[in-house]
Structure 1
Amino acid sequence: MIDVRDLTKVFATPHGDWLKAVDRVSFTVAPGEVFGLLGPNGAGKTTTLRMLLGLIRPTSGSATVAGFAAERDPAEVKRRVGLVSANTGVYPWLTARETLAYFADLYAVPPALARQRIAEFADAFGLGDFLDRRCGVLSTGQKQRLNLARALIHAPTALLLDEPTLGLDILGRRIVEEFLELVQARQLAVVLCTHHLEEAERLCHRFGLLNRGRIVRQGALEQLRAETGLHSLHAMFLDLVGARRQLPVTSLKSAAPPAPLT
């Protein structure tokens, strides 16, 4: 469903240099699979998602969704992809219901079908209590529930989730987990970017560990454990960025005593 091959993006810097933000990244995601694209800030995750959506052109390589190339057919790719991001905004003067209807109309969903889906998602994501409230008064968690529903309103075949639980409490995170269970049952292909590594271990089938624009490890959790000798994604993440070195500790006994106050 999602096929990324040797995807590369090079940016020109203001100083006349070149920055390779993404370097020959390759992965596939099958229907019903959740692929965790993990890495530190600046590793190239968001740039990869933008190329996959057709928002920016790759320097080389390809990204396809359901057989449509993001570079050649960006409109067709967008019709088949739902995006959920921590930074996704909502129109403050529209109600939650009007927001869903608006996005359904953008994707040419027939009005009767849109109403049916809005009622379905109101149940699935607990929107009923605020479906007719203006978005400007909704909490962070309520807005993210609305964004989850919005991402499915056009019945996409693939989902890109960029830090979907950022800023959410434990109940909000549980809603996202239930959302992923729903989309897996519908056989959507999912790419998940998150810094919540314990969540990623529970939710993802396979992982790509990204650092400095390159995928340095890829596979299921048991495969990564066998390759790295490390048990958790947390330990692998720290090892990836070279942060597992033990910090020097100065003994309090050997430290010079503070000068007496005068």
Structure 2
Amino acid sequence: MLAYRHAFHAGNHADVLKHIVLTRVLRYMNQKDKPYRLVDTHAGAGGYSLEGQYAQKKGEYLEGIARLWDRDDLPELAADYVQLVKQFNAGGRLEQYPGSPAFAQMLLRHGDQLRLFERHPTDHRILSSFLGETKGVEIRDSDGFEGLKGQVPPSTRRAAVLMDPSYEGHADYGRVISSLREAIDRFAEGVYMVWYPQVTKLEAAQLPRRLETIAPKGWLHVRMTVQQPDAQGFGLAGSGMFIMNPPYTLHDELVELMPYLVDVLGQYDDASYLIEQKAS
């Protein structure tokens, strides 16, 4: 939705999970010399001020990246992620949070390609100012669901896709499935990462099972629950990542990491995580 601004939620617990998974996928893909293409269908602004009015309105980052920032007991995966956030904050203080395009820009190599879709006019303008002149980066003011089919397969036959729409309406859930189904028909070998919110919507609960039915080979599903919905049943209890064709190392990495993340980010006694996979 064009009204959605991720700046309100930047650096929250959902971003922590999403960006750790993204970081691990890109680190894995970097192990091979052959270039690849990363497609971000809902890129956002690329970076966010945590001292601005949007982030300060609810202070969601305080229950996310801020809880990890100064810890000296970080597991390897969390330490790698936090170091990238610190790299984005040149002054040494937690003032900015990198969006997915910024994590990609820090990790992609010479010859790799970054394709970014963002329709919100303000976020598109900020993103273009940030990365628009970077070699290998293309930024498009168009619908990422529709645009994905034109991005796969790339000429290198290596690609990763991140899909994390706002889900503010009900339509996004169905569009995730239809867009991915078409992309998989064109390029079943890609790594497809789907973020989703853990909210009291039937569509959110059903999405992982629906994704299983279209996964071409193996898949991995990780979900982290950190807080209870409010008295009316609203609020972001947690979030999940569903990865098709995941790196074979990712499952064991997450098994080691998730108890720590739940312990540090959990906001109530029943905070928990789930990890499922189907090997290819």
* TM-score of the pair, normalised by structure 2: 0.32
Higher relative contact order (CA 8 A, sep 6+): 1
Larger Rg: 1
Choose between structure 1 and 2: higher helix proportion.
2
Choose between structure 1 and 2: higher strand proportion.
1
* TM-score of the pair, normalised by structure 1: 0.34
